[in-house]
Amino acid sequence: MQMPDPSAAILSRKSSVVRRLQGVLDDDSVIHEENELRAYECDALTAYKCPPLAAVLPRTTEEVAAVLAICHEEGVPVVPRGAGTSLAGGSLPSADSVILGVARMNEVIETSYDDRFIRVQTGRTNLSVTGAVEEDGFFYAPDPSSQLACAIAGNIAMNSGGAHCLKYGVTTNNLLGVTLVQMDGTVVEIGGAHMDAGGLDLLGLVCGSEGQLGVVTEATLRILPKPEGARPVLIGFSSNEVAGQCVSDIIKAGVLPVAIEFMDRPCIRATEAFAGAGYPDCEALLIVEVEGSDAEIDEQLGVIGQIARGHDPVEIRESQSAEESARIWLGRKSAFGAMGQINDYMCLDGTIPVTELPKVLGRIRELSDQYGLDVANVFHAGDGNMHPLILFNANEEGQLEKCEAMGADILRLCVEVGGCLTGEHGVGIEKRDLMETQFAPDDLEAQMRVKDVFDPKWLLNPAKVFPLSVTEPRRAIAAE
């Protein structure tokens, strides 16, 4: 993975930049010793590492604004960082950049059940947002699998999804307002506790912009009353095709489950060996979860069961108790851990039209044979968000490159059948150089014009999202 050469001029000014940052923050909020900077050299895409020039951990919007204003004046790139759980390298630093971490900003600012929102500082973790309101019967809907660790700041930057977004949508559908600090230190309030932010939809633009338009320090999030109950059913099939058809038929029948998860045989076997959830040994299985009162759940599961039986399932296991529900989810939730036990893996998240599922799974199998690398599939089937896990051995020369090449082929396939490169992880550096397979030059130009407006000097997270060759002229101007 190519990154731009760091600016020698900035590297040589490290001590003066650090001194200026120390002038606006507590000493313990400015990290500049080499050994301490190691903690910020990568995020969850650990294949790529580079310690930053410095890292800062401000506590308030004012401090963030002060830091950004200094970096803007100094011409130093800034890489925003939530909890560092990005799988796409969204917070990978460059040697001449300052990491701006929001980890110390985790207060709840306001909660209103009458207006059904919570306002938080964005360093707060996803799960602890729900934690702040669940005793009163509410929850925050987007639930990325890293929700225990990941921060709202990162969720907003990447427009994170989760298993339950078929019903509840992703981050952008649950975000009401933000405080955004632009690269020059300008503080902008967008939206608020009212449901429609007025004017152009800047909120929609900021969400998913991968920390390239500004640093979001506070966010107003929609919270929802918890449903009375939820219950999953597990359905095993003898082929991927049939399972895929069943997903389509469930959706067509007018039931809207909160989640439809799909696992293929390699994934089922691996998770069984790891977690022992008692899954049937079959080609494909679905976990379908519905919500409501007991009677409502029974009715919906009745409809789903009837459809599934029409597809000659290997097994249908409807949960009868909380313990059984937990066991049904156990395998799915341990899938990534299970794969990690076997081998190193690379997790992709391209999205495809649900109707293309069988075809794409077939092609992935062919690619797997061609490259000689195993692939396990576990994904959100209801919305077509795939998660192929390519297994490889990082210690073996050339395997990472081979795995990346195969990953790129799978993502090209996703685009080819009408889907996209990334459904919830973001582009970061990982999919940056594939953007031209999905977008024409004019499409990319339109997006980059937005960055020109928010960050004319291209200092915020500049080497991400767009292919380096495409952003080169803009970054060159910034470097002058």
Binders of another protein among 112-141, rule CB under 8 A?
A: 112-116, 137
* By the rule CB under 8 A, 193 interacts with another protein: yes
Q: Which of 97, 385, 461, 471 binds another protein (CB under 8 A)?
A: 385
Q: How far is the CB of 445 from another protein (least distance, A)?
A: 8
Q: Which of 57/258 has CB closer to another protein?
A: 258
- State which of residues 66, 423, 429, 471 lies at the interface with another protein (CB under 8 A): 423
Rounded to a whole number of angstroms, the minimum distance from the CB of residue 165 to another protein is: 7
Does 427 interact with another protein (rule: CB under 8 A)?
A: yes
For residues 139 and 133, the answer to whether their CB atoms sit within 8 Å is: yes
Sheet of strand 187-191: strand arrangement: 108-112, 117-121, 215-222, 175-181, 187-191
Q: Is 173 in the site for another protein (CB under 8 A)?
A: yes
CA distance 223 to 404: 38
Q: Which of residues 253-292 bind another protein (CB under 8 A)?
A: 253-256, 292
Under rule CB under 8 A, residue 204 binds another protein: yes
Residue type, 474: R
User: In whole angstroms, what is the distance from residue 243 CA to residue 98 CA?
Assistant: 48
Helix 468-479 vs helix 441-454: crossing angle, to nearest 10: 30
Q: Which is nearer to another protein, 148 or 446 (CB)?
A: 446
Among residues 227, 280, 305, 467, which is the contact residue for another protein, using CB under 8 A? 227
- When the beta carbons of 32 and 332 are compared against another protein, the nearer one is 332
Which residue of 7, 122, 172, 334 would you call a contact of another protein, by CB under 8 A? 172
Stretch that binds another protein, among 91-99, 144-152, 156-164, 362-370 (CB under 8 A): 156-164
Sign of CA dihedral 117, 119, 125, 129: negative
Binder to another protein among 45, 202, 301, 308 (CB under 8 A)?
Answer: 202
Residue 217 contacts residue 64 (beta carbons within 8 Å): yes
Nearest to another protein of 249, 374 (CB atom): 249
Quote the least distance from Cβ 436 to another protein, whole Å.
11
Q: Which residues contact 395 (CB under 8 A, 6 or more apart)?
A: none
Of 413, 426, 462, 470, the one binding another protein (CB under 8 A) is: 426
Per DSSP, which regions of 148-283 are E strands?
175-181, 187-191, 215-222, 224-225, 230-237, 259-264
Q: Could you give phi then psi for residue 85, rounded to 5 degrees?
A: -100, 10
- Across the strands, what pairs with 11? none
Q: Does 82 bind another protein (CB under 8 A)?
A: no
